[in-house]
């Protein structure tokens, strides 16, 4: 079969991922041509400063010194945006769409917050947006959801979508270390950014699960309404006590679909059974478990960040879009970038979450405390599945004078967040405990 033309690509932003994309496009050119029948030409790359040393240096003819060299070049079909941030890429992407250039971006922040506007404009202008690199780096989860699982209603998604936090929790669990100690080590090893705020506060994982939820449920969410809790307040005592109960702590990104376009999207530290496959995803790795009504459970595992893994995802988008352009597939038969059904999704409120809970109180070791607390939980119809009380907490608890107060942990059966919060409020206001209770949600489905 004859293909209509060579496809020209430009990259804007020549950082870690950009260098990886150029390397793969140049070094695997023949392989890509053989496999896809498409000749991909990396025509131009723009970065603000070409005087630096780059891991994958480019010949002078590929260097663009102004964005206009790319925007004004009618032969450039695809622009790969790898700048990061919000304002500049937002303007660049809109400009490219208006000029008829297809877009590839790994910018999850931008897509989670401005996705509706960008995808609407792209749809109007018949432009494809590729974003495989935006979620879970090299794991081909976007294509899996968009195409391979298209015959499924997605019942739920569980994702470990942030490598930095997974590394920290793995070290805390395996080696009994404190959060701050591991964070410092992770920064020294280059696993955590110098400013890891968006990783540890859960927002990075929030961006990624919001994108997966949009793709799975056919509409966009108001990102600021997504419930997000990070790992910054996790203490090693809870990781150790959870372990005794048979659980491993992960920063889990969760999306669940219900009737009437209702969706639940949340990110928070979560205890999962230690024998669950996701509990065994250690270190900086990412993994996603998807349950579709027809396929059942499927799990995807791999590198969620890094130059070549993310570039591998970007290149898959380049080839995918290049094929569409080359074959001249029209809109009427082409799957849209986002599987978008133009639905308004209703995000479940946090008070309506329904799950199991791990609750740790610090209590004085005196007569009747356990029965009083259990009584308050019974008032709110919350059933307790397991209890741990520790006589001594040497080396586990960093709080003041640990000998006067001991940890009392309740593991509940499934309960509503609303009733859990009310019961905890009542316990705390009854002066039975010291300080605030530690609450960690547990995903462990009960039949």
What's the rounded Cα separation, in Å, for the pair 279 and 173?
11
Check binding of 17 to ligand HSE (CB under 6 A).
Answer: no
Check binding of 304 to ligand HSE (CB under 6 A).
Answer: yes
Residue with tokens 């804007």: 12
Q: Which residues, numbered 176-215, are part of the site for ligand HSE (CB under 6 A)?
A: 199, 204
What's the rounded Cα separation, in Å, for the pair 129 and 127?
7
Please say which residue, 284 or 318, places its beta carbon nearer to ligand HSE. 284
* Token pair in block for residue 23: 């390397």
Min dist. Cβ of residue 353 to ligand HSE (A):
25
Check binding of 320 to ligand HSE (CB under 6 A).
Answer: no
What's the rounded Cα separation, in Å, for the pair 406 and 123?
59
Contact present, 62 and 42 (Cβ < 8 Å): yes
Element (H, E) at 45: strand 40-46
Task: Select from 26-34, 158-166, 290-298, 330-338 the region that touches ligand HSE (CB under 6 A).
Answer: 158-166
What's the rounded Cα separation, in Å, for the pair 229 and 138?
25
Contact present, 240 and 396 (Cβ < 8 Å): yes
Task: Indicate if 208 belongs to the active site.
Answer: yes
Please say which residue, 145 or 284, places its beta carbon nearer to ligand HSE. 284
Distances (CA, A) of 246 to 51, 243, 355, 411: 54, 5, 17, 11
Min dist. Cβ of residue 128 to ligand HSE (A):
22
Please say which residue, 97 or 205, places its beta carbon nearer to ligand HSE. 205
Work out which of 107, 164, 402, 412 binds ligand HSE, going by CB under 6 A.
164
Contact present, 326 and 7 (Cβ < 8 Å): yes
3-state secondary structure 230-281: CCCCCCHHHHHHHHHCCEEEEEEEEEEECCCCEEEEEEEEEEEECCCHHHHC
Min dist. Cβ of residue 135 to ligand HSE (A):
8
Min dist. Cβ of residue 204 to ligand HSE (A):
5
Work out which of 105, 162, 240, 337 binds ligand HSE, going by CB under 6 A.
162
Check binding of 163 to ligand HSE (CB under 6 A).
Answer: yes
Work out which of 183, 287, 305, 362 binds ligand HSE, going by CB under 6 A.
305
Please say which residue, 199 or 317, places its beta carbon nearer to ligand HSE. 199
Min dist. Cβ of residue 400 to ligand HSE (A):
33
* Catalytic residue list: 208
Question: Where does this chain bind ligand HSE (CB under 6 A)?
Answer: 162-164, 199, 204, 304-305
């Amino acid at each position: 079969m004859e293909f209509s033309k060579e496809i020209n690509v430009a990259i804007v932003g020549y950082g870690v991922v950009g260098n990886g994309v150029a390397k793969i496009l140049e070094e695997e050119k023949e392989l890509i041509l053989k496999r896809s029948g498409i000749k991909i030409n990396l025509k131009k790359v723009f970065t603000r400063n070409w005087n630096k040393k780059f891991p994958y240096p480019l010949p002078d003819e590929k260097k663009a010194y102004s964005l206009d060299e790319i925007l004004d070049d009618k032969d450039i079909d695809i622009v790969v945006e790898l700048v990061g941030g919000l304002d500049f890429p937002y303007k660049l992407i809109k400009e490219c769409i208006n000029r008829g250039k297809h877009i590839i971006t790994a910018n999850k922040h931008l897509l989670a917050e401005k996705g509706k506007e960008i995808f609407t404009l792209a749809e109007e202008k018949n432009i494809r947006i590729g974003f495989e690199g935006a979620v879970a780096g090299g794991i081909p989860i976007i294509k899996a959801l968009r195409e391979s699982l298209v015959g499924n209603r997605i019942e739920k998604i569980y994702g470990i979508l942030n490598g930095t936090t997974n590394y920290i929790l793995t070290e805390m669990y395996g080696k009994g270390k404190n959060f701050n100690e591991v964070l410092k080590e992770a920064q020294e090893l280059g696993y955590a950014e110098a400013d890891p705020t968006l990783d540890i506060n859960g927002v990075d994982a929030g961006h990624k699960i919001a994108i997966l939820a949009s793709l799975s449920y056919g509409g966009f969410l108001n990102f600021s309404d997504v419930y997000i809790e990070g790992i910054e307040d996790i203490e090693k005592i809870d990781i150790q006590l959870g372990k005794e109960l048979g659980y491993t702590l992960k920063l889990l990104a969760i999306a669940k679909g219900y009737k009437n376009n209702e969706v639940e999207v949340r990110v928070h530290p979560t205890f999962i059974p230690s024998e669950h496959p996701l509990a065994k995803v250690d270190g900086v790795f990412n993994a996603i478990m998807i349950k579709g009504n027809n396929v059942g459970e499927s799990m995807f595992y791999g590198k969620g960040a890094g130059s070549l893994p993310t570039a591998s995802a970007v290149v898959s988008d380049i080839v995918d879009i290049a094929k569409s352009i080359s074959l001249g597939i029209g809109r009427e038969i082409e799957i849209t970038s986002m599987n978008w059904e133009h639905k308004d999704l209703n995000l479940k409120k946090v008070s309506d979450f329904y799950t199991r809970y791990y609750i740790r109180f610090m209590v004085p070791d005196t007569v009747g405390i356990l029965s009083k607390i259990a009584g308050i939980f019974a008032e709110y119809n919350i059933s307790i599945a397991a209890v741990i009380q520790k006589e001594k907490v040497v080396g586990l608890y960093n709080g003041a004078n640990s000998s006067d107060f001991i940890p009392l942990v309740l593991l509940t059966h499934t309960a509503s967040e609303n009733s859990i919060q009310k019961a905890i409020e009542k316990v705390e206001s009854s002066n039975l405990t010291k300080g605030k209770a530690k609450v960690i949600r547990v995903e462990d489905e009960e039949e």
